[in-house]
Structure 1
């Protein structure tokens, strides 16, 4: 039986180290048809049973890259981090092939600057981004944290004591803290959108949106 495909598209991932492999497997789970390039033969063989296609070639070599037909992909992800030169040469080959959306891992500010200069569309710092998320989660109050570039965040968190046993209208969190309770979820129950008469229990998890600094103030409450 064929996999149900939420995203019916072929994508290219280059480098199946920890970051590239995680991206490839998650995209495969979401339904993308993942084609990968990995120069390590043993690693390529391991993933050949899990992904649509895996080529064991040198992605820095333009001639070798022609086997993968990179120009036929709209999206490509460069997961190479151990060699900045290899990352840049690979990204350059994708730019030359006309890939419309190139994502690349950077290991330093200078690396990111060079990737952007040669034409990479999206540069990411996975270690820094993961570290930033962990910093917000270690207090135990937040169970999920997504922050956007403008300082706006969406968080899943436990309710502070001052909300427990009260409706959202009664606790008036929006007025007092400047954030919005978007929804509420209890174990074993469906997610529900928040309304003024939604009553908060200790077992609930809240979905909160607003400026990250204001959400942090709410999460710091006992």
Structure 2
């Protein structure tokens, strides 16, 4: 199957970090920024780089953005440029457009113009770090929606040697363990007979409240 190709508009901290990771994952990435110095710095990292003004429709058309599967608008502080670039990417036929929002108002505007996904890097990172700071067994925290979360929790000594059947998470708390990361590999969709060992990492899905209740019970 052909892999998606990405165009990232704006090669600041977020855009360049995203581009590096996509390259590491084996994808082709076109990076676009109006700053020639930034473009030059990223030219050896990304598949292609172009210095261009992405608020100009003809410029975007000439660099062939319509041929890319996913467009990411990662423009920094210029909200007007972010919105205009997003509209142009949609109009030019980019299949999926993702845009970085600086705040909730910017995000609402992006949603109204048809963005497929709005990303709030600073806000989301702040939420994740806050949860990690107050929960010593929480390694990572990703909010799927306003109610549902995926969390990575370390198996405590209290759970060591117990099977998932012993824990009975779904009946007791309503959440589910969807994977277990062990030293010798990851178990995806573990069964009731899988045994937990101290320092294993559980990937748990549920509401925020369910996961909090499970974590409290696991550490008491």
TM-score bracket, shorter-length normalisation: 0.7 to 0.9
SS of corresponding position for 2:185? coil
Kindly report the root-mean-square deviation, in angstroms, between the aligned alpha carbons of the 2 structures: 2.1
Give the one of 32, 42, 49 matched to 2:44. 49
The structure-2 alpha-carbon separation of the partners of 1:115 and 1:195, relative to structure 1 and needing over 3 Å to count, comes to: closer
1:157 is aligned to 153
Give the one of 141, 146, 160 matched to 1:145. 141
- Please say if residues 101 and 121 of structure 1, whose CA atoms lie closer than 8 Å, have aligned partners that are also in contact: yes
1:202 is aligned to 198
- Please say if residues 7 and 32 of structure 1, whose CA atoms lie closer than 8 Å, have aligned partners that are also in contact: no
- Please say if residues 7 and 31 of structure 1, whose CA atoms lie closer than 8 Å, have aligned partners that are also in contact: no
| Structure 2 CA distance for aligned equivalents of residues 135 and 128 of structure 1 | 11
Structure 2 unaligned residues grouped into runs of 5+: none
Structure 1 unaligned residues grouped into runs of 5+: 1-5
Q: 1:85 offset after TM fit, Å?
A: 1.2
> Is residue 19 of structure 1 aligned with residue 10 of structure 2?
no
| Structure 1 CA distance for aligned equivalents of residues 46 and 62 of structure 2 | 17
Q: 1:54 offset after TM fit, Å?
A: 0.7
Q: 1:150 offset after TM fit, Å?
A: 5.5
1:118 is aligned to 113
Give the one of 27, 31, 39 matched to 1:32. 27
The structure-2 alpha-carbon separation of the partners of 1:171 and 1:35, relative to structure 1 and needing over 3 Å to count, comes to: closer
Q: 1:161 offset after TM fit, Å?
A: 4.3
113-122 vs 208-217, which moves further: 113-122
Give the one of 3, 6, 26 matched to 1:8. 3
Q: 1:7 offset after TM fit, Å?
A: 6.1
1:166 is aligned to 162
The structure-2 alpha-carbon separation of the partners of 1:211 and 1:61, relative to structure 1 and needing over 3 Å to count, comes to: same
Post-superposition, which runs of at least 4 consecutive aligned residues in structure 1 deviate over 4 A? Answer: none
